[in-house]
Every structure is written in structure tokens, then in C-alpha cells.
């Protein structure tokens, strides 16, 4: 019995040693398989910037009505506060703080549109703590991208990678300034691709990269790197119930950013194609009805009159399966790919109709988002643009589709327009009871407004018309 017991003990000991060796080997393998981001951060940190903004606001806006009321109550006990206060000095208010990255040795920088929109001053802080004032080269609200320029040379810069090559599960790294903590790095994986954010815009031209990287306020506009050190995304927004990272963040694909960047650098604006269809998802029921092998594609619910789609032969109840070589798996894929091509592009489509596949070629029109700022005549500029906004002509496609005649608000700054509740994208059809059918007509009417008092402005927003009152004070 004793001999047997010793043998059993030896076998048990050998088994423990083998198990310990295998466990150590597996642990070593797991550690070897995990990426080390230290070199990636060290190589690219000099190209990352922090962006801060300031803007001018009226003294009353800077203080706030609640604070004014409380102050007046303390100074005049028992009296009802009178908020009809004039002459408060203009205040400088700190705006958004975000991130960005250098894309050329001569100082071009990319960030998010929402970081710098409406800013009067933009300040860029480099990784070595040098600070520069930045010039806005171009803004693009639909993609939430902005191109800036600083007066500097011999800068370190990043390279763009191919976002189409990303796979779900790939490691990615973000560098930015969350909550003002400059040049912080955070890693994670790609959680999903092709995410569309409902409600962002009538013309949703974005298909986001979703990651679980810890993105927070201040990371906006910063780069998302792959393991090769290439920028494959620009961090844009998060999905959160608390305002902080919940592990769901969204980045703009680098291929979209490169297209936008090139257009902003060349012309200061971005042009996107227009197809002219209303569509919806192909669900299981539609696939069954139209005898499609499985749910996929974009189902055409309506074709706009005289649109590129109608002229190209697209019909209601067509199912679009490919656009210019891109597979359309979900209906949200279609506007994303259409938006990557400029007006006038001849695009080939594969559609499913009456149980057969058909090839169709359409020549893309111009998206209503392709607004080009119209210069205000000198007489208006000399009077300080009292309305506080700039307008653009309506595109031919928008005029044709909506039947509207007017101008569109392209840029909104501090002034009567913003205080009245106007928004970028509103279509102005009359000002001071005079019909507006062009930017020239708008400039003439605006230059002859009274110095003070209220004037009516008629706008159309999301298909609904309304009249607002602009309060003029010069």
C-alpha cells in the first residue's frame, strides 16, 4: 500500500508540474498576443493637438437672466426686476475644447466641425506646448469635419489609412484631450462598422466606425489609429446616458475624411452627389414578397420627379443591391456611398426588379447640402451684417424637389437671427415682408432694414413654414 501511495504521489506531482507549465505557456502566449501601444503613441504624439475656442457674446447673454434677476432683487428689495437692460459690454466666452491632428508638415489640421463652429478665435496647442492661432479653411456640417491651418512649418504629421480594410475586432487606439487632460491615450477594439445615427440630418451621408475605446468630452476631433500607426478614423461622438464613456463611441471613417479634406483644401466647400429616391430597409417580409433570396439592399419607396434616379430609369419598388461597385447591404449604405461622389458622376447601379437583375447608370445631381457661401455686398458688410448670418443660393435640385424659392442660412453667428431662433439650413422666403428669391435680393433687402425695432422673417424648416421676429439693434 505504501509503495502504491508513493507512485500515486509521484504521478500526481508530475501532473501538477505539467499543468503548471501549460498554464504558464498559455499565459505567456496570451501576453505575447496582446499589442503594446507604447511605440505607436511615442511616434504619433507629436502630431496630436489640443484645440480651444472663444466667442463673443453680449454682456447679458454672458451673465444670464437668472443671475441678473437675483442681483436686482438684492439691490432693490421688494421691487420687481426690470430686465430691459442695455449697454452691457460684450464678453469673451470660452467655447468648446477638443482635439485634432496635423496632416501636413506646413500646418494643416483636421478636427470636428462641432469643435470650432461659430468660434471667433481658435487656438491650437501642440504636443511640445507651442500655441498658435488657427485659420478655418473649411467646415462641413454633414460629415462633422473641419480643416484648419496654422502658420508653422516642419511639423510632424500623421498618415491616413484605409478604413475599408478595418475588421470588427481589430485593435484601435485614440489619442486626445478628454476633459482637458492633454494627450491621453486609450485603446479598444472595433465593435461594429457602418453605423448610422438616426436623426442627424435629412441627408445622412455618414457611416460610422463603432468602438469600445474610452472616448469622452475633449476627444472630439482626435485621431483613431490602427496598429500600423495610420489614422483610420476621427473620433466624433459617443452614446452615453451619463455624459461620459459607456464603451460606445463613433468615429468618422478615414476614407470619408480624406475626401472631405481634399475638397475643403481645394475649394473650402464639399460637394456631394444626389440620387433622388426615398427608400427603406428590405426586411424579411419584403424579401419574401419580391422573391429575393434574403433581406438586403435599399427598397425604393419613391422616386423624385426629374431627379437623377428618374432620368436614369429607377422605378418605385426597385431594390438597389449595388452602387458603383459597393454592395448595399442595408438601406443606410446607399446615401453614404452616394455622398462619396461629386455631382455629375456617372454611377452604375445593380437593381433587382421583377425577379431579375438589371444594370442602370445614373448621373448624380447636387445634394442640397452643397451650399456655397455668397459674399454679402459691401454696403451690408460696412453696416456690420446686422442680422448675424450669411446665406447661400438654393441648389437647383432643392428648388425642384421642394418647390421653394429663397435662400438658405449657411452660417449663423451672434446676432438677431440666432436670438430669434433661426438655424443653419433654414430657408428664407421673405424678409421684412419682401419676397426673397436670390442671395442678391436678400442682400438688397438686408441693407435697407431699419436701424432698430422688429422686422418679420418668413422661413421654411423641415417642410413647415413659420414667421419670426428679428429685433434690430445697432
Catalytic residue set: 114, 144, 220
Indicate if 386 and 290 belong to the same structural domain.
Answer: no
Q: Are 65 and 190 in the same domain?
A: yes
Residue 70: pLDDT band (50, 70, 90) is low
pLDDT of amino acid 1: 35
**What's the confidence (pLDDT) of residue 334?**
92
Asked if 329 and 353 touch (Cβ cutoff 8 Å), the reply is no
Neighbours of 87 (CB within 10 A): 6
Cell numbers linked to 328: 448595399
Indicate if 345 and 388 belong to the same structural domain: no
The answer to the question of residue 372 being in a domain is: no
Stretch 180-202: mean pLDDT: 77
Query: pLDDT grade, residue 134 (50/70/90)?
Result: very high
Q: What angle do CA 94, 100, 105 make, to 5 degrees?
A: 125
In-domain check, residue 153: yes
114 assigned to a ligand binding site = yes
The helix (H) or strand (E) run that includes residue 286 is helix 284-289
Residue 453 in grid coordinates: 425695432
Asked if residue 144 belongs to a known ligand binding site, the reply is yes
Whether the predicted model's global pTM rises above the 0.85 cut: no
In this structure, what CATH number is given to the domain that contains residue 323?
2.30.42.10
pLDDT at 20: 46
Cβ-contact 83, 76 below 8 angstroms: no
299 lies in a domain?
yes
What range does the domain containing 320 cover? 273-366
C-beta separation of 304 from 401 below 8 A: yes
Split into its structural domains, the chain has a count of 4
Whether residue 334 is found in the same domain as residue 243:
no
Q: Which residues pair with 360 in a beta bridge?
A: 349
Over range 1-22, report the average pLDDT. 47
Task: Name beta bridge partners: 357.
Answer: 352
What per-residue confidence (pLDDT) applies to 233?
95
Among 13-22, 159-168, 193-202, top mean pLDDT goes to: 159-168
- 285 and 387 together in one domain: no
- 181 falls within a domain: yes
Residues 319 and 468 in one domain: no
Q: Does residue 373 lie within any of the structural domains?
A: no
Binned at pLDDT 50, 70 and 90, residue 190 comes out as very high
349 and 382 share one domain: no
> Is 219 one of the annotated binding-site residues?
yes
Mean pLDDT over the full length of the chain: 82
Residue pair 472/452 in contact by the 8 Å Cβ criterion: yes
Give yes or no: residues 319 and 386 share one domain.
no
Query: Cell 473641419 belongs to which residue?
Result: 146
| Inside any domain, residue 322 | yes
Residues 126 and 204 in one domain: yes
pLDDT tens digit sequence for 410-451: 888 888 888 888 998 889 998 988 889 888 888 888 878 887
- Count of C-beta atoms within a 10 Å radius of residue 207: 22
- We report the CATH number of the domain holding residue 39 as 2.40.10.120
Clarify whether residues 356 and 386 are in a common domain.
Answer: no
The answer to whether residues 141 and 229 belong to one domain is yes
Residues 254 and 305 occupy one common structural domain: no
Tell which of 339, 366, 393 closes a domain.
366
Please state which of the ranges 17-26, 92-101, 239-248, 312-321 shows the lowest mean pLDDT. 17-26
Task: Mark which of 270, 288, 313 sits at the end of a domain.
Answer: 270
Give the mean model confidence (pLDDT) for residues 305-312: 92
Residues 6+ apart with CB under 8 A from 190: 166, 167, 168, 169, 170, 172, 209, 210, 211
Give the integer Cα–Cα distance in Å for 128 and 150.
15
Residue 3 forms part of a structural domain:
yes
Alpha carbon distance, N-terminus to C-terminus of the chain:
108
Answer yes or no: is 371 within a domain.
Answer: no
Amino acid at each position: 500500500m505504501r509503495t502504491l501511495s508513493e507512485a500515486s504521489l509521484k504521478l500526481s506531482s508530475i501532473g501538477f508540474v505539467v499543468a503548471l507549465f501549460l498554464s504558464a505557456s498559455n499565459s505567456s502566449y496570451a501576453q505575447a498576443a496582446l499589442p503594446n501601444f507604447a511605440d505607436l503613441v511615442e511616434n504619433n504624439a507629436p502630431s496630436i493637438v489640443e484645440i480651444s475656442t472663444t466667442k463673443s457674446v453680449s454682456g447679458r447673454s454672458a451673465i444670464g437672466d437668472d443671475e441678473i434677476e437675483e442681483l436686482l432683487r438684492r439691490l432693490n428689495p421688494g421691487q420687481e426686476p426690470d430686465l430691459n437692460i442695455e449697454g452691457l459690454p460684450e464678453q469673451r466666452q470660452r467655447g468648446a475644447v477638443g482635439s485634432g491632428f496635423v496632416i501636413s508638415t506646413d500646418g494643416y489640421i483636421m478636427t470636428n466641425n462641432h469643435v470650432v463652429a461659430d468660434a471667433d478665435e481658435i487656438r491650437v496647442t501642440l504636443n511640445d506646448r507651442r500655441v498658435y492661432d488657427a485659420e478655418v479653411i473649411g467646415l462641413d456640417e454633414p460629415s462633422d469635419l473641419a480643416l484648419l491651418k496654422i502658420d508653422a512649418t516642419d511639423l510632424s504629421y500623421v498618415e491616413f489609412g484605409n478604413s475599408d480594410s478595418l475588421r470588427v475586432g481589430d485593435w484601435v487606439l485614440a489619442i486626445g484631450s478628454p476633459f482637458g487632460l492633454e494627450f491621453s491615450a486609450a485603446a479598444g477594439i472595433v465593435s461594429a462598422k457602418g453605423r448610422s445615427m438616426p436623426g442627424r440630418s435629412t441627408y445622412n451621408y455618414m457611416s460610422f466606425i463603432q468602438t469600445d475605446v474610452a472616448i469622452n468630452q475633449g476627444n472630439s476631433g482626435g485621431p483613431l489609429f490602427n496598429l500600423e500607426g495610420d489614422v483610420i478614423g476621427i473620433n466624433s461622438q459617443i452614446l452615453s446616458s451619463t455624459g461620459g464613456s459607456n464603451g460606445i463611441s463613433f468615429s468618422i471613417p478615414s476614407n470619408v475624411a480624406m475626401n472631405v479634406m481634399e475638397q475643403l483644401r481645394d475649394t473650402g466647400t464639399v460637394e456631394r452627389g444626389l440620387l433622388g429616391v426615398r427608400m427603406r430597409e428590405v426586411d424579411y417580409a419584403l424579401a419574401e414578397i419580391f422573391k429575393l433570396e434574403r433581406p438586403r439592399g435599399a427598397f425604393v419607396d419613391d422616386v423624385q420627379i426629374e431627379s437623377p434616379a428618374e432620368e436614369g430609369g429607377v422605378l418605385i419598388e426597385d431594390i438597389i443591391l449595388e452602387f458603383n461597385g459597393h454592395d448595399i447591404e442595408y438601406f443606410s449604405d446607399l446615401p453614404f456611398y452616394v455622398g462619396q461622389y461629386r455631382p455629375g458622376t456617372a454611377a452604375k447601379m445593380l437593381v433587382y426588379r421583377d425577379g431579375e437583375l438589371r444594370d442602370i447608370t445614373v448621373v448624380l445631381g447636387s445634394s442640397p447640402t452643397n451650399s456655397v457661401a455668397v459674399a454679402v455686398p459691401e454696403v451690408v458688410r460696412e453696416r456690420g451684417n446686422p442680422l448675424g448670418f450669411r446665406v447661400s443660393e438654393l441648389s437647383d435640385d432643392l428648388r425642384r424637389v421642394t418647390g421653394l424659392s429663397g435662400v438658405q442660412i449657411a452660417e449663423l453667428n451672434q446676432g438677431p437671427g440666432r436670438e430669434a431662433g433661426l438655424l443653419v439650413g433654414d430657408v428664407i422666403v421673405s424678409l421684412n415682408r419682401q419676397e426673397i428669391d436670390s442671395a442678391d435680393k436678400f442682400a438688397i433687402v438686408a441693407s435697407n432694414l431699419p436701424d432698430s425695432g422688429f422686422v418679420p422673417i418668413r422661413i421654411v424648416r423641415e417642410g413647415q413654414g413659420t414667421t419670426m421676429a428679428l429685433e434690430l439693434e445697432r
